[in-house]
Structure 1
Amino acid sequence: MSWSSCPFCQQQVLSVELERHANNHFEDEDLAKQCQDEEYIALEHIWVRPQKPSLLCVDNPMQPASDFPRSGSPDENIRRLVSLQVRDANRKCEVNPDLMTLLKSCLESEPGKSNSTSITILSGYVDHFQSLKFEDVGWGCGWRNIQMLASHLLVQRREEAREVLFGGAGFVPDIPSLQRWLEIAWEKGFDAAGSNDFDRKIYGKRTWIGSTECAALFRSFGLRARIVDFCFSTPSDVVKVKPPKVIGPIDRYLNRPDTCEPGSSSNAKSFPELVGGQPLLANWVWSYFSDNTSLTKSGCNRVIVTKKAPLYFQHDGHSRTIVGIQLKSLPNGTQQFTFLIFDPGHNTKVLESCLSKKAGWQRFIKRGVHTLKKTEYQLCYVDPGIATGAEMEKLKSLDSARFEF
């Protein structure tokens, strides 16, 4: 009887049980959260709250300030904000290579099992923004996910998005600046109904936001942000799906013909009549990332980088960013989806270190479909192009595609 040491927790386990034990580290969200807390303590000295000029008072980073005159004119407020907004100190230093390049390398070097193949589809460039102690831990995840999505748009959609986002600043602003931008979006009439929940004031508040605020913010710049709702009354049951009124790439997903050849690795088939809640969500995410992408079997671990923007992924109590999805075809003929996640609750330096060393990164980034235990999920994505004129006016009213089970 031989024993081996777990590379994650150093626990001695039977060699025949080592793989199962190690896999539990990155499939169990509770354990991942425990690891995250331990690493925050160990690396607390790395992250010191920057003492730099900001839109907020220096003594209390979330205390409302009076240094931003409000003229009542959105255009005047925009001009002032463009000159006052601050680059977020989370990403003041560029990571080279960037995290998505490191992630791609890790995925390509994953050991494969016999008779199994995997295809992974990734967004291009995405920065990771972590919630900082004494600043936004416990309430700022929504803002951090907006920052992650913005980092992609500024790099991957440089020609169309860089000019309009944040007044053409060319960088991702800090949370106080984003709060001002959201207030301006509300002043312009974007998501008027939702803004009433905040009394149209959010600057300086430690207030949770969600995907609707994310969509309103990006729509105010002319970006085509869309929302999708998934509501599972009994997540494990298999029931009929109510046909939703949909917009954007969901139309292509619901109506595309089943063109997959026998043995094809693509799982983007026509919409099934009966489907469970979690598989439907996973299939939608797969379809989103694989849209207009030719997928064929070639090699054990194929990794494809697309121009698709990451997904703002909201559920009760937290939000994260989906930067990609992996599909494994197992020897028994089944297919297994795994979301690839950037979580604001994780430490960026630890994440970068694990990806660079190709060790322990899975427990931070990989989330299997079986971990989706909430009854409601909401996604926000950004379609290509910039809206103007009548389309811009339509974007002021938020709606969503809704799936109920």
Structure 2
Amino acid sequence: MYGKRYILHGKNYESPSGLKWFRALGGREAMDCPVCGCAVDDGDLDRHVNEHLDQEQIERDEEFARAQDRLFNSVVEWESSLFSLNARQSVHFELVENPLDTGSSSQQEQQQQEQFFAARPSSSRDGCPWEIPAVIASQERDSFVPVEEGFIDLLRKCVVAEQQRPSAYALTSFIDHYQSTSHDLGWGCGWRNIQMLSSYLLARDEAYRKALFGGAGFVPTIAALQQWLEIAWSKGFDSDGAEHFNGAIYGSQKWIGTTECAALLRLFGVRARIVDFKALTRTTGGKVPSKRVAKRAGPRQQNDSERGIVQHWNAHCDSCGMYPIRGPRFSSSKQQDCDLCFVCFKNQPGRSHEFERIEKPSPKACGGDFEDYNHQRLVDWVWNYYTEEDRDHVENRQPLVIISRRPPLYFQHQGHSRTIVGIQRRRKLGGPEEAFLLVFDPSQRTEELVKALRAKTGWQKLIKRGVHTLKRAAYQVCHIDPGIAQGKELENLKNLSSTSYLY
């Protein structure tokens, strides 16, 4: 257990006498944060710890976006010269070095890279050059790190061992993790998520094994997936997408999304559907804080204004999570959107010169007004998706764990995509319910993910994502309805449409 403390006017007390008197003077019960060691209100400890984990994800996403920009700038010139050649001639391309390649690669990865940049008939710009039997014969199984006990079984054991307050989990029943390599870093996340989704379909249903990828029975490489997508376009699946990419994507490093995922899978009769979630309203006022539980005031208790304590309602402490910041606020001059309360400022003596002391409340705290979107509708949809269908297995213990028959979800936002493998809902003590998406990110190393799950420690920062981390206005999900379409239904799948939720 974390160490329990009592705080009054910035001073710590291990066990004050007369708790009623102590609270009446504005004292609060607190616990030590296991990450930073700061004292945090007992009821806000989970939110505070999750903010540490969320910040790591934000930094990882920012680095991922920077890598995409570097890759895009280096590839633009190459692609321009590539397609300036005569479109009626057969063109052979020399293997070019990936600008993001940081070291030596295995022989198999080198072969994959050669296949990416191998010669292709230029007639593909007028029509698909690929013959289905040839693609079936030439496609190769992509490499991944196998997990003997299975990712979902490892994850199930972790959530059962977490032993937090009453929670319910819903998980998909199977998935293999496909990580980005040095050859597709910065652009291949969409393809990797298609591979993760395909791993479920191939493992869980004989009908999918016979239909997908010509009955190969395995998840093919990105190069083969690009060929299959071009075939889908040539047969009329997602004509708008085909026009956008000029019908050609094989050998390129162009980014894809949910529509390309749906078009590729629909080629084989898979009922891939797209759902749009867009927030039209925002919640304002700094980084969105959790609601604090109002404690019943004692007969002598005074509020902050009566005691002359200033409250900064548009800011919260980036160290201990205090909201609003009471007393002076310390704003960083080097790091944007960073504020500290008085106690946390005192705990950083070596950096005191980096902060400006602000006595009076400012309408633009945290470096300016910050607005977030409330995507509770998306979270509710994910929960219903995993729970409203037939349940394969339920753990009759606390926490409740539901193993669903539904496949994973392709989860897209501007600039990146991941795979949702489950969801957690839990009741907050005296407050509203909290929800966390459980996601697999292609940018993560599979070995790191397996190690954390087997050790039952550190897996939360790799997989759990709170609702408050959904900072984008719009998200898309590609999900799979059961069964294989044939005949007229298959023909209708060529026209891509989506279900939209606006809120």
Shorter-normalised TM-score: what interval?
0.7 to 0.9
Match of 2:208 in 1: 161
**Residues 357-376 of structure 1: pairs in structure 2 closer than 5 A:** 357-376=455-474
Q: 1:154-199, CA deviations, whole angstroms, 9 ceiling, x for partnerless residues?
A: 1112x21000111111111111111011011111110011111000
1:136 and 2:148 matched: no
Question: How far apart, in 2, do the equivalents of 1:286 and 1:315 lie?
Answer: 19
Pairwise CA distance, 1:66: 3.5
Detail structure 1 runs of 4+ shifted over 2 Å in the superposition: 1-8, 11-32, 34-37, 47-50, 52-58, 64-70, 72-76, 233-237, 292-300
1:51 and 2:107 matched: yes
1:290 to 377, 387, 405: 387
| SS class of match (2:385) | helix
Question: How far apart, in 1, do the equivalents of 2:476 and 2:41 lie?
Answer: 40
| SS class of match (1:377) | strand
Question: How far apart, in 2, do the equivalents of 1:233 and 1:86 lie?
Answer: 44
Mark the CA change 1:102 to 1:32 in structure 2 (over 3 Å): closer, same or farther. farther
Contact map agreement 1:324 1:341 (CA 8 A) in 2: yes
Question: How far apart, in 1, do the equivalents of 2:424 and 2:477 lie?
Answer: 18
Pairwise CA distance, 1:111: 2.2
Pairwise CA distance, 1:206: 0.5
Mark the CA change 1:57 to 1:148 in structure 2 (over 3 Å): closer, same or farther. closer
Question: How far apart, in 2, do the equivalents of 1:4 and 1:391 lie?
Answer: 58
Which amino acid in structure 2 is aligned with residue 104 of structure 1? Answer: R
Question: How far apart, in 2, do the equivalents of 1:284 and 1:358 lie?
Answer: 28
1:279 and 2:369 matched: no
Mark the CA change 1:73 to 1:199 in structure 2 (over 3 Å): closer, same or farther. closer
Match of 2:278 in 1: 231
Which amino acid in structure 2 is aligned with residue 285 of structure 1? Answer: V
Match of 1:118 in 2: 167
Report the RMSD for the aligned CA atoms in angstroms. Answer: 3.4
Which amino acid in structure 1 is aligned with residue 151 of structure 2? Answer: L
Match of 1:43 in 2: none
Match of 1:79 in 2: 133
Which amino acid in structure 1 is aligned with residue 50 of structure 2? Answer: N
**Residues 294-313 of structure 1: pairs in structure 2 closer than 5 A:** 299-313=397-411
Which amino acid in structure 2 is aligned with residue 77 of structure 1? Answer: E
TM-score normalized by structure 1? Answer: 0.77
Contact map agreement 1:129 1:144 (CA 8 A) in 2: yes
1:107 and 2:159 matched: yes
Pairwise CA distance, 1:28: 3.0
Question: How far apart, in 2, do the equivalents of 1:362 and 1:35 lie?
Answer: 20
Contact map agreement 1:28 1:371 (CA 8 A) in 2: no
Question: How far apart, in 1, do the equivalents of 2:108 and 2:129 lie?
Answer: 27
Pairwise CA distance, 1:30: 3.9
Question: How far apart, in 2, do the equivalents of 1:110 and 1:375 lie?
Answer: 32
Which amino acid in structure 1 is aligned with residue 196 of structure 2? Answer: M
| SS class of match (2:236) | coil
Question: How far apart, in 1, do the equivalents of 2:243 and 2:111 lie?
Answer: 24
Pairwise CA distance, 1:97: 1.1
Question: How far apart, in 2, do the equivalents of 1:138 and 1:76 lie?
Answer: 27
Pairwise CA distance, 1:26: 2.5
Contact map agreement 1:233 1:375 (CA 8 A) in 2: yes
Contact map agreement 2:374 2:468 (CA 8 A) in 1: no
Which amino acid in structure 1 is aligned with residue 263 of structure 2? Answer: A
Match of 1:332 in 2: 430
Pairwise CA distance, 1:306: 1.1
Match of 2:247 in 1: 200
| SS class of match (2:283) | coil
Q: Which has the higher contact order (CA 8 A, sep 6+)?
A: 1
Mark the CA change 1:178 to 1:54 in structure 2 (over 3 Å): closer, same or farther. farther
| SS class of match (1:164) | helix
Aligned length: 349
Mark the CA change 1:29 to 1:397 in structure 2 (over 3 Å): closer, same or farther. farther
* Identity fraction in percent: 43
| SS class of match (2:131) | helix
Question: How far apart, in 1, do the equivalents of 2:129 and 2:244 lie?
Answer: 24
1:28 and 2:55 matched: yes
Contact map agreement 1:25 1:31 (CA 8 A) in 2: no
TM-score normalized by structure 2? Answer: 0.63
Question: How far apart, in 2, do the equivalents of 1:79 and 1:351 lie?
Answer: 37
Q: 1:332-366, CA deviations, whole angstroms, 9 ceiling, x for partnerless residues?
A: 25221110000111111101100011110000100
Worse-matched range after superposition: 334-343 or 288-297: 288-297
Mark the CA change 1:200 to 1:121 in structure 2 (over 3 Å): closer, same or farther. same
Pairwise CA distance, 1:55: 7.7
Whose radius of gyration is greater, 1 or 2?
Answer: 2
Question: How far apart, in 2, do the equivalents of 1:75 and 1:149 lie?
Answer: 27
Pairwise CA distance, 1:120: 0.4
Question: How far apart, in 1, do the equivalents of 2:130 and 2:469 lie?
Answer: 47
Contact map agreement 1:314 1:379 (CA 8 A) in 2: yes
Question: How far apart, in 2, do the equivalents of 1:48 and 1:377 lie?
Answer: 36
| SS class of match (1:163) | helix
Mark the CA change 1:325 to 1:15 in structure 2 (over 3 Å): closer, same or farther. closer
Question: How far apart, in 1, do the equivalents of 2:240 and 2:266 lie?
Answer: 15
Which amino acid in structure 1 is aligned with residue 175 of structure 2? Answer: V
Which amino acid in structure 2 is aligned with residue 94 of structure 1? Answer: P
